[in-house]
Structure 1
């Protein structure tokens, strides 16, 4: 019985090693001239919180992918965005932004790349998991990908803060109300 168990364990390990070998690993750098922002509206005005892309300087990220025709599948390919690197242009709005994201308990947003389907003309369909305030939510959205000297990903995504169990802070006894829909805008320049 012990021999069968060891054989089964060795077979599973060998099969998982073969399955994982189809993934390639590449190191990428997101250049500081990239742009990333989160914008939204209240019943009074609009706001935009820009990510300080200087954070990406001298950093590289590993992506693990397999290619199947026009589809790239990814695993363990995560881009962490520290909440502290977002600036909304005003100390009070920054505080509200960090309260909304529960930054004290969850100091970063995680972007987990899952799939890129490049079979569309000039655009790709990206599947990405957002982890905000400890909650994962998958999104599919179109992204324009251009290749010149760099690889550039340009797009925007609408998401609802309720998907992440977030409650907008109430201001002035509820007179200022944040819309539940926010937009993430990005123009990422990537060097491979």
Structure 2
């Protein structure tokens, strides 16, 4: 129950932050702190997405466009995702369904480092954007979370993927 309340709070806060824009954010935890990496190029893009018929989005993100607001953290994030060998991360919508007036469900395919995983994600509409989040794991993509200082500081396996897509209401 506590975990569901935490997800609801994170979803609401993210919904207010991401309203009326495109955004992709990856949040994670170390044993001593948290981190947030935002894809700045996608956040600044004017793209508007359609969710009708066969016109479902395929969002391709450049790994080097993620910024963790800390030079060392950003470098470690890009190195962990092996941005030299795998420069892109993609989120492809396979299907999309309206559940209620303001609630939607989608199956998405996330491709990272040539590993593809499918997830079901719940979305809400908020001020012209669809906002959703999903908890992923580094290990889902065969990635070993990084460690520093001989293992004294380590990144936890879980990541939260938050995103907002500006939509065309027509």
Would you say the 8 A contact 1:32–1:55 is kept in 2?
A: no
Question: 1:54-133, aligned counterparts within 5 Å?
Answer: 54-57=43-46, 66=53, 77-133=57-113
Deviations 1:45-100 (A, max 9, x none): 0000011135524x677x7963xxxxxx667x421011111100111101110111
Distance 1:186 1:54, change over 3 A: closer
Is the contact made by 1:74 and 1:114 (CA closer than 8 Å) also made in structure 2? Answer: no
1:37 has 2:14 as partner: no
Question: Could you state the TM-score of these two structures normalised by the residue count of structure 1?
Answer: 0.69
> Structure 2: how far apart are the matches of 1:138 and 1:155?
15
Contact persistence 2:26–2:162 (CA under 8 A): yes
- Of residues 176, 181, 185, the one that matches 2:153 is 176
Offset at residue 103 of structure 1 (A):
0.8
- Distance change in 2, residues 1:32/1:124 (3 Å): closer
Residue-pair matches, total: 150
Tell me the TM-score normalised to structure 2 length. Answer: 0.77
Unaligned ranges ≥5, structure 1: 1-30, 67-72
2:167 is the counterpart of 1:190: yes
State whether residues 137 and 159 of structure 2, in contact with CA within 8 Å, keep that contact through their aligned partners in structure 1: yes
SS at match of 1:177: strand
Deviations 1:131-169 (A, max 9, x none): 0111000000211025x6x4x111211001101001122
Q: Which ranges of structure 2 fall in alignment gaps of 5 or more residues? A: 1-18
